[in-house]
Chains A and B, each alone.
Chain A
């Protein structure tokens, strides 16, 4: 982490790639500026001395929830697949996942 929350277009492009959103150059420029502005306010959080403070991931104490491993009704497969952009042979259908061999 640096002291200055400056974000370049390249940083924004990297984050957009991680988030799987195709952004235009205009959008990357705009988000780089806007994210930097929000991160300026986050700087007071980042700069705080929190030694000895435990993180809170959840507001209330939670325990793992288990139930008996019994077969129960679930959503109807055909109804679920009817909502998919593409389905075939009882499965979700997607474009190819693997690229051509180099």
Chain B
């Protein structure tokens, strides 16, 4: 179903391209209206989202009003910005003032945030239109979007399969063309893994480059917001729009990477790229073959490809599944039935807390809170949490050493393509293995991007992952753009043919 092996064009494009770039250009030039663009996408959502369930909230009226306001500005000679008229979907763990923000959890039932996340302000300041909020694994905990209080999202390529997670709603929405671009959040792969499983681009920025103000916290030292898009160029443009220092997030960096949009046309001549053994071990043969194919294309484009082993990466997954739950158990203590969301009444406050949390949290969130609480409890703290923090140091040091020899690293994004809905829900570790290749970047705070690269024998999308050191977004986008241009042709998602 792909033009497998067909002609490849291993050169870089002239600049960012893709549907969102076209929309902004045409609306800014007055060739089309933002309202027309929004109507088209609302129509696609109305037509396909009954089957996909990518959205938990669609903002029909608000999106139309935002589009009309943009059209008035364009008509008055104003330029609203690089994303003028581009409809954007937000993972529903990003706060939107006066609009439900559920984290796909019953415990935030009815909550209307009193403020907008910084990324929402920045998107609007660039001219984008927020069109809806997308489904996720509850509080971003999961790799399949099955852990949603509102039911699973389905993969546009095969409705019986998961879209990945936790940003599965955003990935499915972009893959099916319901929106040109979306935002997700990535704590252990939650942008890159669903991007790979849905055949779209997903990028996790360097920790601290995008403000987390208004992102509902899961694991604060790992969480980062980033784009899911159809093309690498769109991801760069979106990253440029949402990144930047924010005094409201004390972990936000003052120093930022250079603008990324220009990097997509710079090529990979003489770049040293390491193909990471540990990011191919335990990976399906069809996916490993695609990574090799991408490496060959990079070589043909002038990069120096070398094998690279970072054995410490084998410790990343077990360390992550101590650190992330530990941070989560602390962050989610705030859902106590006092200030927002659900309350289950009881005679005293402690009983109210326990009953509220029992009724409001789903099975995976309870499991992670239990695991994290255990890892932090007296007698186990040093053995589990403390040791995992030291492993984090080992991984950081090992990656730093690898980046002495390589400008960027290449590997698989996921060990498998999209799996069947229901396959892994009762076996936590088998689900956690989906994050095998993505968690190292989160532990290190480094950027990573998944680029769609053809499909497996069953016609399911495959992602190739490009990793770079902290603030190495430019080199990451250079490599990703060349990988994208070498990618085999991919048929459009099955849901669109129905």
Q: How far is the CA of A83 from the CA of B394 in the complex (A)?
A: 44
Task: Give A52 Cβ to nearest chain B Cβ, in Å.
Answer: 9
Binary per-residue interface labels of chain B (384-397) against chain A in the complex, 1 for a CB within 8 Å, 0 otherwise: 10111111111010
B340, B374, B445: residue with the most chain A Cβ atoms closer than 10 Å = B374
Q: Which residues on B sit within 8 Å (CB–CB) of A48?
A: 315, 387, 390-391
Interface residue ranges of A1-60 to B (CB < 8 Å): 1, 7, 11-12, 15-16, 18-23, 27, 31, 34-35, 37-39, 41-42, 44-46, 48, 50, 53-60
Query: Does B114 belong to the interface (CB within 8 Å)?
Result: yes
Q: How far is the CA of A86 from the CA of B371 in the complex (A)?
A: 31
Query: Does B19 belong to the interface (CB within 8 Å)?
Result: no
A1, A80, A83, A97: residue with the most chain B Cβ atoms closer than 10 Å = A83
Which range holds the interface residue count of chain A? 35 or more
Decide yes or no: A35 and B371 within 8 Å by CB, A22-B355, A83-B111 being known contacts: yes
A-binding segment of B8-16, B151-159, B316-324 = B316-324
| A79 and B114 form a contact (CB under 8 A) | yes
Task: Give B372 Cβ to nearest chain A Cβ, in Å.
Answer: 8
Query: Does B76 belong to the interface (CB within 8 Å)?
Result: no
- Contacting A85 at CB < 8 Å: which of B343, B383, B444? B343
Decide yes or no: A55 and B345 within 8 Å by CB, A19-B370, A38-B371, A50-B391 being known contacts: no
Query: Does A101 belong to the interface (CB within 8 Å)?
Result: no
| A21 and B338 form a contact (CB under 8 A) | no
Interface residue ranges of A45-102 to B (CB < 8 Å): 45-46, 48, 50, 53-60, 62, 65, 67, 75-76, 79-80, 83-86, 92, 94-97, 99
Q: Which residues on B sit within 8 Å (CB–CB) of A97?
A: 348-349
Task: Give A97 Cβ to nearest chain B Cβ, in Å.
Answer: 5
| B470 and A45 form a contact (CB under 8 A) | no
- Contacting B390 at CB < 8 Å: which of A22, A54, A62, A83? A54
B208, B318, B336, B366: residue with the most chain A Cβ atoms closer than 10 Å = B318
Decide yes or no: A37 and B429 within 8 Å by CB, A21-B358, A80-B114 being known contacts: yes
Residues of B within 8 A of A (CB): 111-112, 114-115, 207-208, 221-222, 247, 250-251, 253, 315, 317-319, 321-322, 329, 333, 336-343, 345-355, 357-358, 361, 366-367, 369-371, 373-375, 377, 379-380, 382-384, 386-394, 396, 428-429, 432, 443-446, 470
Can you name 25 A-B residue pairings with CB atoms under 8 Å? Answer: A1-B379, A15-B373, A20-B350, A21-B354, A22-B355, A22-B357, A31-B366, A34-B428, A35-B370, A38-B432, A41-B317, A41-B321, A45-B315, A45-B322, A46-B387, A55-B390, A59-B222, A59-B446, A60-B253, A60-B470, A67-B247, A80-B114, A83-B339, A85-B338, A92-B339
